[in-house]
A and B are shown apart, each in its own frame.
Chain A
Amino acid sequence: MQRTITQEALGAREAQLQALLLQGLTGDAAAYRMFLAALAVHVRSFLSRRLAQRPCEVEDLLQEVLLAVHNARHTYQAQQPLTAWVQAIARYKLADHYRSYARHDALHEGLEDDSDLFAASEQEAAQATRDLAKLLAQLPERQRLPIVHVKLEGLSVEETARMTGLSSSAVKVGIHRGLKALAKLMGGKGDDEDR
């Protein structure tokens, strides 16, 4: 991990990531994919530092954070520092993770304020333990089919609508709701745990 990165370099990285995200929000899927891939590298190292005792959970949690970033992308506003936005999401998911495993000792360690999200990067991806197919199988059909056809098989919304007999807007809503439901399943939240 490199700790000697200058503020300038961090600023440039933030600007680059932000530009990709903003392009992505206007519908540029390639830019959005690049944004998520670059973000994953930083979030992975952010999480590894905080889950040093349990490295095997890093990749699972990283995927939760990425899905959360995706589901919250409409709340990002261009004038806000991207670091603050992403970090708040990552911390929220991390705190959730600690809570669900009832490791309150680690909670305090993980919540200190530091703004070095983009300072380190970890390229190496471990295999996450959860299985997408199993998660998808738990979704109702009107959410699962749109996700499978549009997101995995690469069909257009219109093609999917024709194939499934759903309307185009129902396909879009199905994807949207399905991804939110997926986030809940990943976090293992059926409970109403108080915060």
Chain B
Amino acid sequence: MKTDDLIALLAAGEGPVQRHALARRLALAVLGGALGAVLMTVALYGVRADLALVAHTPLFWAKLALPGSVALLALWLTQRLARPGVKGGALWGLLGLPLLLVWLGAATSLLGAPEGARAELILGRTWRTCALNIALLSVPTLIAIGWALRGLAPIHLRQAGAAGGLLAGATATLAYCLHCPEMEAPFWGLWYVLGMLVPALAGTLLGPRLLRW
């Protein structure tokens, strides 16, 4: 095949490219994944009975701030890493900020508590299932983001997979907050973070295999 023939073939019969194709694709994936995670939360775990009540407390929103800010950063990272010639760079470092804040809150809470009560602050009542539940809820978003990335052009496949996995984990955690009764920062700082890391790790491992193009 002559290269000129290939060029003629590529240029022939192509209409305009959809504007904001990348943003549309990612938005669709995140919305679809989030919807899946919310439906799974409601169906599998149930919404906490006092949700309307706690939604008026600042503590509930502080709890959402961790997965919320991680989700935004991971979404930004994902849209960057989905394009050739753009790196994740300093954005990865920014992820340390919400982590640092929740750990500061956790440390404050632990130091202020009597020694005997500290274990309960960390373990709460649901530590056995929390991270696993979040990992399970991240599956729809992980699949949706994988679909979106396969239609884009990631170059750094591990990083793109990690960012997509983290986005899935953070979205799942947000949905899980509809159910999760735990209201202590030390609990979030350990189990929520672990829950988000599971899909991030899965994305890191799967990226190089599934995102090649």
Contacts and interface: CB of A to CB of B under 8 A. Distances in A.
A33 B14 CA distance: 11
B115 interface: no
Nearest to B152: A75
Contacts of A76: 83
Nearest to A179: B10
B62 interface: no
Contacts of A24: 11, 14
A106 interface: no
A161 interface: no
B17 interface: yes
A29 B12 contact: yes
B84 A66 contact: no
B85 interface: yes
Interface residues of A, number: 61
Contacts of B53: none
Chain B binding surface SS class: loop
B17 A73 contact: yes
Nearest to B1: A132
Interface stretch (B32-40, B139-147, B153-161, B170-178): B153-161
Contacts of B158: 195
Interface string A45-65: 000000000000001001100
Interface string A23-59: 0111101101100110010001000000000000001
B18 interface: yes
Interface stretch (A4-12, A79-87, A137-145): A79-87
A68 B8 CA distance: 15
B113 interface: no
Contacts of A131: 1
**Interface bracket on B:** 20 to 34
Contacts of B157: 195
B50 interface: no
A173 B17 CA distance: 13
Contacts of A194: 208-209
Contacts of B11: 24, 29-30, 32-33, 36
B85 A80 contact: yes
Interface in A140-188: 147, 150-152, 154-157, 172, 175, 179-180, 183-184
Contact of B9 (A85, A151, A156): A151
Contacts of A27: 14-17
B8 A130 contact: no
Given A25-B16, A36-B10, A71-B213, A66 B3 contact: yes
B153 A29 contact: no
A152 B16 CA distance: 19
A70 interface: yes
B2 interface: yes
Interface of A: 24-27, 29-30, 32-33, 36-37, 40, 44, 59, 62-63, 66-68, 70-77, 80-81, 84-89, 91-92, 96, 125, 127-128, 130-132, 147, 150-152, 154-157, 172, 175, 179-180, 183-184, 189, 192, 194-195
Interface of B: 1-18, 21-22, 82-86, 152-153, 155, 157-158, 208-209, 212-213
